[in-house]
Amino acid sequence: MALKTQNNHEADGMSTSSGDIPLQGDSLSLRDLMSSIRRRSRLVWGSLILFVVLGCLYLIFKTPVYTTTMVVGPAPAGASKGGAAASALSSSLSGILGASAPTLLSPTDEFMQLIISPRVAQKVIDSDPTVLPIFFSKEWDPVKKQWHPPHDPISLIAEGVYGLFGLHWWSKPSAERLSIYLATNLVIAEVSTTAMQQVSLDFKDPRAASSLLNNLSRQADTIVREENANLADKQIQYLQQKLSQTVEVDYRQMLLSLLAQQVSTRMSINSSLPYAAFMVQIPAPTDTPTSPNPFIVLGVVIVVGGLFGVFGALTAGLIWPEGVPVPLRRRSTIRTKMSQALRYFANPRPLEQ
């Protein structure tokens, strides 16, 4: 009985002294896991070094991106007269006409929505035909002066998936695609609690980004100005027509008051100042790239590489608890080298006592 107990103790000592992950029938402890990782530390360090090298290559070959920012606020012309007066007068005239009052929309709100709309995108393209080739450079052939589908791996996968179901996956860059690009990449945020808005765009060419933001602002302001000028002209024409048909003193006085407001609004629209929004800060790019960030990239690859190495060490301990076996038959040189490398990294090494 004593001999049997001694043999059991010896067997238990052999299973724990190996320092590997216990096999079936044994309990799994944190000490066993740490022991398996330590005995295969070469696998952990190899994974860590591999991921760090990949991260460095990414930083070397990744095109740097700059952030271009502009700040816009309500223009005095649109905020004081063109916006409030026009909205109030529209409501008054709608009451006279018996129609429902329109939703009060300030020129600045319309401006912020227009800068990401296909309508403004088309005007930007018409004024600067180089916009599409610059912002969709992967799809533009400067030699042949024509568009082509992108050839990156993700696009090739998308082409295969869409083609499998008979769907058209690519279309030539247009105002609609530029609008989608702007809606996706423009970052619009309020400046603290003010009415000002900060508009940012990340792009590899800071000059092109600054030019695009300037063009978007100019085209959107022009559209809002033209719309409000057209509305004011129609309202002035209507009021003049009603005045010519009205003889009641009180009613004429009200129409004259509305007409005076609308004439004042029309004069402010004709001003050379910005109507919907003016630039508090003109588009200005950062002096240094904002992406990729070396600290973030290296931090991520170190964490991922370490976790991947730990997972590989634990997996190797489960699959090859006694080490990777040496093949009996001869293999090709490449397979032999690969097998030797696997044994070097995955085989456990004795721990120092």
Q: Do residues 33 and 21 lie in contact, with contact meaning Cβ atoms separated by under 8 Å?
A: yes
pLDDT at site 93:
52
Cα–Cα distance for residue pair 189/197, rounded to 1 Å = 6
Categorize the per-residue pLDDT at 189 as very low, low, confident or very high, splitting at 50, 70 and 90: very high
Indicate whether 11 pLDDT > 50.
no
Cα–Cα distance for residue pair 112/81, rounded to 1 Å = 19
Region of residue 170 (phi > 0: left; psi between -120 and 50: alpha; otherwise: beta): beta
pLDDT at site 350:
58
Q: How confident is the model over 110-134, as a mean pLDDT?
A: 95
Q: Lowest-pLDDT range, 23-37, 129-143, 328-342? A: 328-342
Q: How far is CA 286 from CA 66, 131, 207, 333, in A?
A: 6, 21, 11, 53
Strands, DSSP E only, in 142-276? 146-147, 187-190, 197-203
User: pTM for the complete prediction?
Assistant: 0.73
Indicate whether 342 pLDDT > 70.
no
The 10s digit of each residue's pLDDT in 36-55 is 788 888 888 999 999 999 99
| Selected residue with higher pLDDT from 24 and 265 | 265
Q: How far is CA 144 from CA 131, 148, 172, 274, in A?
A: 17, 10, 15, 40
Q: Lowest-pLDDT range, 63-77, 91-105, 269-283? A: 91-105
Categorize the per-residue pLDDT at 332 as very low, low, confident or very high, splitting at 50, 70 and 90: low
Mean pLDDT over the full length of the chain: 81
Q: How confident is the model over 140-147, as a mean pLDDT?
A: 93
pLDDT at site 19:
46
Indicate whether 2 pLDDT > 50.
no
Other CB atoms within 10 A of residue 20 CB: 21
Selection from 44, 45, 21 nearest residue 31 by Cα: 21
Strands, DSSP E only, in 140-245? 140-141, 146-147, 187-190, 197-203
Q: How far is CA 215 from CA 30, 102, 117, 127, 274, in A?
A: 62, 29, 13, 8, 13
Cα–Cα distance for residue pair 127/283, rounded to 1 Å = 18
Q: How confident is the model over 202-209, as a mean pLDDT?
A: 96
Where are the chain's structural domains?
28-62+293-346, 66-136+173-285
**Contacts for 259-266: CB closer than 8 Å, 24+ residues apart:** 261/85, 261/88, 261/89, 262/85, 262/86, 262/89, 262/232, 262/235, 262/236, 263/236, 264/81, 264/85, 265/81, 265/82, 265/85, 265/86, 265/89, 265/228, 265/232, 266/229, 266/232, 266/233, 266/236
Q: Lowest-pLDDT range, 91-95, 128-132, 320-324? A: 91-95
Indicate whether 353 pLDDT > 60.
no
Indicate whether 316 pLDDT > 50.
yes
pLDDT at site 102:
46
Tokens of residue 120, six digits: 């403004």
pLDDT at site 9:
44
Indicate whether 282 pLDDT > 90.
yes
Please report, as a single letter, which amino acid is at residue 281.
Answer: Q
Q: How confident is the model over 181-193, as a mean pLDDT?
A: 93
Q: Lowest-pLDDT range, 14-23, 204-213, 252-261? A: 14-23
Indicate whether 10 pLDDT > 50.
no
The CATH topology of domain 66-136+173-285 is: Bacterial polysaccharide co-polymerase-like (3.30.1890)
